[in-house]
Amino acid sequence: FDFSTVLDVGCGNGNILQTLLSAGKVIAGIEGSPAAFEAMDRSVRRMVVLHDLTVPVFLGHFDFVICTEVAEHLWPVHASILIETICAHTPAHIFFTAATPGQPGCFHHNTQPHQHWIDRFEAKQYQYSLDKSLQLRHELRLALRHTTWIARNALAFTRRIPSSLVPQCNVE
């Protein structure tokens, strides 16, 4: 992906943001867990908002939005809010992962097949890229040997229409 600015929704301990900051990217994050927020490196924490992910939030526009293994921890009723929050930031690209049915883990309230999330993002004018998803899955399998589920669940999306034509969302 070609991007300068990135938002990580549900950024956990901030490791992805730390890596992107070191690579010269302009970063921001949203985290719902006070414990994860406190565990972040200070250089990242000052660019992250502690916020309940079941409530809409808007931090501005970003080239790229990341959301890894968050959706399954929210109740299904809140999935629309998560998708709306991601898309409201009008990224050109989205990297998304979420646990699938039968995937082990704690507090998985909303496991869905990949097609469920593909349909949700496509309804918001984001095109699923099978080629990019497969490429990312391959690269992540090599890089993340102990977290194989992230590679297995990798989904890549590209915005179908220019951000100037994207309807403004009611996220505040």
pLDDT confidence band for 164 (50 / 70 / 90): low
105-162 per-position pLDDT tens digit? 888 999 999 999 999 999 999 999 999 999 988 888 788 777 777 888 999 999 997 6
- Residue 138 sits at φ, ψ, to 5 deg, of -60, -50
Side by side, which strands form the sheet with 126-128? 48-50, 26-31, 5-9, 64-68, 93-97, 155-159, 126-128
57-98 per-position pLDDT tens digit? 999 999 999 999 999 999 999 999 999 999 999 899 999 999
153 token code pair:
């669940």
DSSP 10-45: T-TTSHHHHHHHHTT-EEEEEE--HHHHHHS-HHHH
**Nearest to residue 112, comparing CAs of 73, 54, 147?**
73
pLDDT confidence band for 168 (50 / 70 / 90): low
62 and 149 Cβ atoms separated by less than 8 Å: no
